[in-house]
Amino acid sequence: MPSLNDIRSTFLDYFARNDHQVVESSPLVPRNDPTLMFVNSGMVQFKNVFTGVEHRDYKRAVTSQKCVRAGGKHNDLDNVGYTARHHTFFEMLGNFSFGDYFKEAAIPFAWELLTREYGISKDRLLVTVYHTDDEAAAIWKKVAGLPDDRIIRIPTNDNFWMMGPTGPCGPCTEIFYDHGDHIPGGPPGSPDEDGDRFIEIWNLVFMQFEQFEDGARKDLAAQSIDTGMGLERIGALLQGKHDNYDTDLMRALIEASANATSADPDGPGRIHHRVIADHLRSTAFLIADGVMPSNEGRGYVLRRIMRRAMRHAHQLGADEPLMYRLVHALVRKMGGHYPELVRAEALVTETLKLEETRFRQTLDRGLRLLDDELARLPDGATLPGDAAFRLYDTYGFPLDLTQDALREKGRAVDVAGFEAAMAEQKAKARAAWAGSGETKEAAIWFDLAEKHGATEFLGYDTDSAEGQVLALVRDGAAIKRAEAGESVQIIVNQTPFYGEAGGQVGDTGTIRTEHGQARVTDTLRAQGLFIHVAEVTEGHITLGAAAELAVDRDRRARIKANHSATHLLHEALRQALGDHVAQRGSLNAPDRLRFDFSHGAPLSAAERAAVQQEVNAYIRQNAPVVTRIMTPDDARGVGAQALFGEKYGDEVRVVSMGRAPGSGKGLDKATYSIELCGGTHVRRTGEIGAMVIVADQASSAGVRRIEALTGQAAIDWLEAQAEQLHGLMGQLKSPTFEDAQKKLSALQAENRALQNELAQLRRELAMGGGGAASGPESRDLGGVKFLAQVLKGVTGKELPGLIDEAKARLGSGAVLLVADAGGKAAVAAGVTADLTERLSAVDMVRAAAAELGGKGGGGRPDMAQAGGSDPSRADAAIAAVEKLIGG
């Protein structure tokens, strides 16, 4: 019996042999459709190829596309587990032609694959065509030889396939399998077509038109083919089963669930096992594609699926978290074809375990409350909306979980009442907010957030995506349209632009719509909204338009490198300086990074070198950067660095990088850096390229600030340094650095010697030039030899040395020197030791300073100094001192 993996391979191989390019499944989160929650059919990734906007270098393709139908328009969640063919996650096999072959080849391909490769009996097959499509009917007749009553013409939209309200579309033909008359049901188009006897297995769409918003339908430039066949369905058929959940793949998961709970896979818990098997697949694939459980948008759909599965596990009597234990069984079955599942196994396991552990805490209590409520109600009555809301608000029960629980009891929820209770709570939040003193300007963001919910950030995984313009704001007011040249703030439902937060600057880039383009100069956040600060550069941007959002990729790459390097730097500083190092602030800009941390002193040269070397060693390690969602307590438990004093929510993003076996953090004690962080990061540390510290300054008391560069900027900086050094060596005419060092030392020594010589010469010149013996004569004032002189071109600093020399020449006596520095005077006096009893140098300078326009003066009895402002009064100063000595 072929396994589902074999059946998938047969399909891909068949079309590959027929010149189709095997294209990988696109991720479940669509990048090219603003309105679609999840990829829900194989053609989504080719949407723009059909309309001619995008070109690929192949014209035929074949895929096995991951699909989720659990939110938005196609939502199968409610039925999963209870029916034979509903799934939240499924694989769609499809072959595509982009302006290459059309109906004439698509039909024979399908027929040959089904009847020859898969060996399905022709007698079991019948088809439908759109009622006006004579061409398709004729081809079926010719190729398959089907009688007219097995080529059924259908006049309804069932045979006209549209992706959505807009986009490529066309008539289709569907292939059905007849399970035989032992199963009730009629052929398609008959009154009892909904029975289970005739099952649609493959849909071939003849893509021919493009549908526009205004209702117009235009011919596509090229007629194309889009086909879709659910692997689970064709698998069941080829394995002789009627129920998709009886295929080898689904059965393996059901058995894993049965083993883990010791509950019979086919017993009373049958439905629970089926729900668990299905939800395990959607959960694992969504997480592998970057969706994380949250309370908004896609993350909330994921959370609803997870919690719904957890309630079913609870019904099976599982006391401990269960889902996470089943992940490995899934990876074993599907990891061969989807390597992303293997890569994400640890992340999926951890995320499930965390969600299960936390939800278990309220699940029991919530279910008890539900039972109490039901006991109070008359038999069969619907559950009041406010009770369902309490379960939602207090116990974290998504509405569909409550509905699912009631379904087993044949009851329903008053959904209108639930919504009323939700609206009332929002009104209360609004009233509380209005009283919180926020500015008027902020009110618009509150209103918009309330109306549209938080913006979904796609930028962890992509730098371009489509979004829908939900609001345009100018000067604090909502507008409908912004023209070229206008500044406007743009809100979309989902964006790859990072809104400034946690030190990482906002992204820049472009937003393009059908009728215009805007340049985004910054992205900010308020109330969960991402605000694109933009200027319309061409045409106009209107409310509701579909927009292509493209982040400036190169700038973002540099920001990412700087942000990841900051984490490595933080850890390296802790290693080099000690555990007191804690982050105090940071900036992750495209051109540099800045990191403030608690530490009292500049880094020594050795510390700086050690830090820089360690960071660069981890960059070269090129280890993957891993992101997880955890509770703040668990994050601290694994040693994650958190910002001191920061308030964190129930869940935090934890970013880890670097392998440090034996000495690291984390459960494995082998992770180098673990931080709480909402920013964007490189995938592997090697992308940082290199890091160099360019500044180390004090930022405030006890806080240092380091600036560093990474990647090309680091290399440019190092090159500039080297160039400057070479410039200096050139000036010194040194061929080597050692030679330059030697020459510089020699120059410094020579300079010192010259300065000494110069000082000596100036002193001699000042004192009358020539030899030590010459100089002005002293006079006798009442038995004291007194020498006085006015010196030009001498500074006050030089006076004490000159006083000493003069005193030595006199042997016994007093000296007064006045330095005339043009506009400023300095005066110094000296008295030889034998006379200091009679005469004080301090008194002398005071007397002199009084004349020179100065004040005070100080020193010792044998040497004192003072200043003044009027050197022209030098003679008067000398006279005053003569008078002092002469008595």
Chain residues that interact with ligand SER, rule: CB under 6 A: 41-43, 94, 161, 203, 205, 226-228
Residue closer to ligand SER by CB (options 29, 472) is 29
Nearest approach in angstroms of CB 105 to ligand SER is 16
> Which residue is associated with the tokens 């890569």?
343
**563-588: b or e for each residue (b if 16 or more CB lie within 10 Å)?**
bbbbbbbbbbbbbbbeeebbbbebbb
- Cβ-based nearer residue to ligand SER, 34 or 42: 42
- Measured from the CB of residue 383, what is the shortest distance to ligand SER in angstroms? 35
Non-local (6+) Cβ contacts of 731 within 8 A are: none
CB of 631 to ligand SER, least distance (A): 39
Category of 816 on φ-ψ map: left (φ > 0), alpha (ψ -120 to 50) or beta: beta
Q: Which is nearer to ligand SER, 167 or 664 (CB)?
A: 167
What minimum distance in Å lies between the beta carbon of 659 and ligand SER?
44
**Burial tier of 380 (Cβ tally within 10 Å: 0-12, 13-18, 19+):** exposed
Q: How far apart are CA 304 and CA 295, in angstroms?
A: 9
3-state DSSP assignment of residue 109: helix
Distance from chain centroid for Cα 790: 75
Smallest gap from Cβ 157 to ligand SER, in A, equals 12
DSSP per residue, 252-281: HHHHHHHHHHT--TTSTTHHHHHHHHHHHH
Crossing angle of helices 711-731/737-766, nearest 10°?
A: 50
Nearer to ligand SER, 208 or 351 (CB): 208
- Cβ-based nearer residue to ligand SER, 29 or 533: 29
**C-beta closer to ligand SER: residue 188 or 590:** 188
- Distance, CA of 363 to CA of 311 (rounded, Å): 7
- Distance in Å, CB of 17 to ligand SER, minimum: 21
Rank residues 12 and 829 by Cβ distance to ligand SER and give the closer one.
Answer: 12
Q: How far is the CB of 108 from ligand SER (least distance, A)?
A: 18
Q: Are 325 and 260 in contact, with CB atoms under 8 Å apart?
A: yes
Tokens of 854: 């100065």
* DSSP states of 28-81: SS-SS-SS-SS--STTGGGHHHHTTSS--S-SEEEEEEEEE-BSSSSB-GGGTT
What gap in Å lies between CA 611 and CA 597, rounded to an integer?
14
**Smallest distance from the beta carbon of 438 to ligand SER, in angstroms?**
46
* DSSP letter (8 states) at residue 836: T
* H-run or E-run covering 120: none
C-alpha pair distances (Å), 591 with each of 555, 556, 562, 618, 622: 9, 11, 8, 21, 22
Task: Report the alpha-carbon distance of residue 224 to residue 167 in Å, rounded.
Answer: 13
CB of 174 to ligand SER, least distance (A): 9
Name the minimum Å distance from CB 284 to ligand SER.
23
Nearer to ligand SER, 63 or 468 (CB): 63
Nearest in space to 868 (alpha carbons), one of 808, 799, 814, 804: 799
In the complex, least distance from residue 227 CB atom to ligand SER, rounded to whole angstroms: 5
Nearest to 199, CA basis, from 258, 139, 120:
120
Q: Least Å distance between CB 301 and ligand SER?
A: 19
Give bridge partners of residue 176 from the DSSP assignment: 126, 200
Q: Which is nearer to ligand SER, 63 or 566 (CB)?
A: 63
Report the candidate in 178, 117, 106 with the shortest Cα–Cα distance to residue 143. 106
Q: Which is nearer to ligand SER, 227 or 673 (CB)?
A: 227
In the 3-class helix/strand/coil scheme, how is 399-447 assigned residue by residue?
HHHHHHHHHCCCCCECHHHHHHHHHHHHHHHHHHHHCCCCCHHHHHHHH
Nearest 5°: phi and psi at 43?
-80, -10
| Residue in the block written with tokens 């399908």 | 110
Angle between helices 553-577 and 605-621 (to 10 degrees): 130
Q: CA 671, CA 678: separation in Å to the nearest integer?
A: 19
Of 208 and 527, the one with the shorter C-beta distance to ligand SER is: 208
Measured at CB, which residue is nearest to ligand SER? 228
In the complex, minimum distance from the CB of residue 94 to ligand SER, in angstroms, rounded to a whole number: 5
Half-sphere exposure of 529 (CA within 13 A, CB side): 26
Beta carbon of residue 226, minimum distance to ligand SER (angstroms, whole number): 5
Phi, psi of 457 (to 5 degrees): -95, 120
Q: Measured from the CB atom, is 51 or 562 closer to ligand SER?
A: 51
Nearer to ligand SER, 93 or 533 (CB): 93
Q: Which is nearer to ligand SER, 224 or 513 (CB)?
A: 224
Cβ nearer to ligand SER, comparing 66 with 512: 66
* Distance of alpha carbon 206 from alpha carbon 228, whole angstroms: 12
Q: Looking at beta carbons only, is 198 or 595 nearer to ligand SER?
A: 198
* Nearest distance, CB of residue 163 and ligand SER, angstroms: 7
Closest contact distance (angstroms) between CB of 461 and ligand SER is 24
